[in-house]
Amino acid sequence: MRTTLAIIKPDAVQSGKAGKVLAHLEQSGFTVRALRMTRLDEAAAAAFYEVHRERPFYASLVKFMTSGPAIPVVLEADGAVRRLREVIGATDPAEAAPGTVRKLYAESKERNAIHASDSDENAAREIAFFFARREVLGNGG
Ligand code: CMP
């Protein structure tokens, strides 16, 4: 699969870094195939992060992800899922490699600027969560 989902998270949007994050992704070789700004409600954030429901940070994560606008983006590149995870760096910015999105723009392990799908299967699920097929350029959109 050549596509994956990123979400520019509310911390990055709120602090005016969305454009810089998007430029970083484009400069890293990704093509934007779909993009919108949205504010997740509690039900949507809870559903999106359902896999983390039992984790101690779940309630806080849902609160953060509903705290302001976020920007889901469908990105295309060879080996998109793995490549994007390399480009964004480790979950915790303190552990992220130099030059990665999270090292440059994240505030903390929770307020970490960007989400990326972790497998082709989840990428397909997460793209469908935000976008109709016709909204993804190349799918007839
Ligand atoms: P993300 O890649 O979107 O996947 C799950 C999110 O939960 C993660 O980025 C962080 O925003 C958040 N997260 C993961 N681990 C922790 C943690 N230990 N404490 C707080 N938030 C976390």
pLDDT per residue, tens digit, the chain (141 aa), is 899 999 999 999 999 999 999 999 999 999 999 999 999 999 999 999 999 999 999 999 999 999 999 999 999 999 999 999 999 999 999 999 999 999 999 999 999 999 999 999 999 999 999 999 999 987 656
pTM: 0.96
Look-up of token digits 């195939």 = 33
- Amino acid identity of residue 28, one-letter, is S
Q: Is residue 47 assigned to a domain?
A: yes
Q: Is residue 136 assigned to a domain?
A: no
Active site (annotated) includes residue 115? yes
Q: Is residue 87 assigned to a domain?
A: yes
Options 115, 116, 117, 130, the catalytic residue: 115
Q: Domain total for the chain?
A: 1
Q: Is residue 74 assigned to a domain?
A: yes
Q: Is residue 38 assigned to a domain?
A: yes
Per-residue tokens: 130: 């935000």
- Could you give the residue ranges of the DSSP H alpha helices within 1-133? 10-14, 18-27, 42-48, 58-65, 80-88, 101-105, 120-130
Q: Which domain holds residue 117?
A: 2-131
Q: Which amino acids bring their CB within 6 angstroms of ligand 1?
A: 52, 57, 61, 91, 109-110, 112, 115
What CATH number is associated with residue 17?
3.30.70.141
Distance CA 123, CA 104 (A): 24
Q: Is residue 39 assigned to a domain?
A: yes
Atom 22, ligand 1: residue with shortest CA distance: 110
Q: Is residue 29 assigned to a domain?
A: yes
Q: Is residue 140 assigned to a domain?
A: no
